[in-house]
Amino acid sequence: MVNPVLIIAVPLLIAFLMPFFNYIHKKLPAFLALLTTAFNVLVISRNFSAIMSNPMVIEIGGWQPPFAINLYIGPLALLAITVINVVGLILSVYNLNHDYEINDKFYLLFLMIIAGASGMVMTGDLFNLFVFIEITSVAAYGLTVFNRGDSYEAAFKYIIIGAIGSVFLLIAVGFTYASVGTLNMAEISHLSPNLSPNLMRIITLLFMIGIGIEAELFPLNLWVPDVYSEAPTSVTSILSGAVSVAGIYALGRIFFTLFQDPALFSYLMIIGVITLIVGELVAYNQENIKRMLAYSSIAQMGLIVTIISINTSEAIAAGLFQLINHSILKVLLFISAGVLIKAAGSKKIEELNGLGNKKPIASLGFSIGAMGILGVPFFNGFVSKLMLINSTLNAEKIIITGLILFATIVEIAYYLKVVQKLYFSNRDKKVFKTANIFIPVLVLTIFVFALGIYPELITNTLNKAASELITNTEYITNVLGGM
């Protein structure tokens, strides 16, 4: 039984020692990043069954909650952490042979962002959440500028919006402390029914703005297209695959565990639907492929938030499944798109024609990712889509279902244009050399089909995670021990 604190501690340690390792040998940072993420995945797999039967509470420093900071890892956190670290592992493999110039400081920030996202998910204390959100954000600001060129502008916009978000978050933490008197999540959820509803509403709104910037809700997500299209490919993948998972987790904790206010769920649903529709409609007109994928990411996040805000157990399970599928598929899409862009020499979709024969692995990866998101049978997106529709119709929300299906049709429109261009056009322009991405694409494709054909692999975990999110009594008793 390895202590899960190592999931946060070891990457941070190795990250700050990176310049030293770089001095020893130039190639060492890449391999060390790979080893660290592999170590993380190993720790998680060791603790997997133990956490599934009994959520784990770890007190930092030996002090008892609610006076101390504790980590809480239940099935939901376990799911999120697995996704974050497996995505990190796959991207470390991808970083070994890559298309762009990176140096040791890239790996420093990369490990930091993984540690930050993992910490965001595992923590049980509100201020610790704030600190980890800031670690993740600062690492993301730094990682964005690694691509020279337009990425400075994107990073600056990200910094402005992110800093405003952190101000809102800090005000929310302050107000919470002033009204409840504690910062421990379990204690807050125990005491929050005593608050006046207006105050709770304002605090939840402030939190929503602060965390919504990480979780990409409209209109707080306008930094996403710029950053995703200008950052290097593995940065985009880790932001889209790992940080958004952590953002949705934090949003879920605020809305379900800490402050349960039924009226706010309808706000969340409306915001989610608006994000979904705006994301899909704007993605249809794009010429730049990475920007198109960024808008598709935003739309999927909106979809997940809409589903989760329906507040029934099967809806939350469906939303979590969609989140996991989205991470896998988006990483696949972004990696393939990165190779295709390098091969064509330009980011415009018009330039990508005919690459199906020249770059078969990347084109196949892109097609599998696109078909997964659209919901072709026997892919993982199909199963989660069916579960989504089942849960929304069970909750009698017919208009929402209609809007989700309309959004899917718009998605079909813009993804199919790219797939057709890749395979069924001729190419007479030059094709540049690119890196070999066979192993990441293979591993991700195996995940896609395994979850699509045999979803019972994770349904048990999903059910437990969903039930943990809905009722917060178990959370309170586990941490406070019946105080």
Q: Which of residues 418-447 bind other proteins (CB under 8 A)?
A: 420-421, 423-425
> Torsion angle, CA of 383/388/390/391, rounded to 10 degrees?
140
346 binding other proteins? (CB under 8 A)? no
Furthest CA-CA distance within the chain: 72
Minimum CB distance to other proteins, residue 156 (Å):
5
Asked if residue 157 binds other proteins (CB under 8 A), the reply is: yes
Task: Give me the least distance between CB of 404 and other proteins, in Å please.
Answer: 9
| Calpha distance 417→454 (Å, rounded) | 30
Q: Which of residues 47-106 bind other proteins (CB under 8 A)?
A: none
Among the residue ranges 135-143, 185-193, 233-241, 471-479, the one whose residues contact other proteins (CB under 8 A): 135-143
Is position 226 an interface residue for other proteins (rule: CB under 8 A)?
yes
Nearest CA to 35 out of 81, 104, 97, 88 is that of 88
d(CA 157, CA 461): 38
- Count of residues in contact with other proteins, rule CB under 8 A: 93
Residue 260 contacts residue 272 (beta carbons within 8 Å)? no
Q: How far apart are CA 355 and CA 323, in angstroms?
A: 30
Instruction: Please state, in angstroms and rounded to a whole number, the distance separating the CA atoms of residues 251 and 257.
Output: 10
Please identify, using beta-carbon distances, which residue of 453 and 483 lies nearer to other proteins. Answer: 453
**Contact stretch for other proteins (CB under 8 A) within 21-29, 48-56, 334-342, 406-414:** 406-414
Q: In angstroms, rounded to a whole number, what is the distance separating the alpha carbons of residues 340 and 353?
A: 10
Six token digits for residue 475:
């959370």
Crossing angle (nearest 10°) for helices 438-453 and 75-96? 150
Judged by CB under 8 A, does residue 467 bind other proteins?
no
Cβ distance 84 to 25 under 8 Å? no
Q: Which is nearer to other proteins, 87 or 220 (CB)?
A: 220
Min. distance of Cβ 281 from other proteins in angstroms? 3
d(CA 446, CA 258): 37
Euclidean distance between CA atoms 142 and 152, whole angstroms: 10
Segment interacting with other proteins (CB under 8 A) among 20-28, 130-138, 239-247, 334-342: 130-138
The distance of closest approach from Cβ of residue 458 to other proteins in the complex, given in angstroms and rounded to an integer, is 10
**Nearest-angstrom CA–CA distance, 293 and 297:** 6
Cα separations in angstroms, 252 against 44, 153, 192, 255, 399? 22, 31, 16, 5, 23
Q: Does 462 bind other proteins (CB under 8 A)?
A: yes
Beta-bridge partners for 57: 72
How far apart CA 410 and CA 280 sit, in angstroms, is 6
Nearer to other proteins, 115 or 161 (CB): 161
x-marked contacts with other proteins along 177-206 as a string, rule CB under 8 A: xx----x--------------x--xx--xx
Stretch that binds other proteins, among 34-42, 114-122, 140-148, 245-253 (CB under 8 A): 140-148
Task: Please give the residues from 349 up to 388 whose contact with other proteins meets the rule CB under 8 A.
Answer: 371, 375-378, 382-383, 386-387
Select 6 or 364, whichever has its Cβ closest to other proteins.
Answer: 364
> Rule CB under 8 A: which of 229-288 touch other proteins?
229-230, 263, 267, 278, 280-285
SS3 call for 135: helix
Q: Shortest gap between Cβ of 320 and other proteins (angstroms)? A: 11
Is the Cβ of residue 138 or residue 470 nearer to other proteins in the bound state? 138
Contact letters for other proteins, residues 307-326 (x by CB under 8 A): -------x--xx--------
Choose which of 65, 165, 232, 272 interacts with other proteins (CB under 8 A).
165
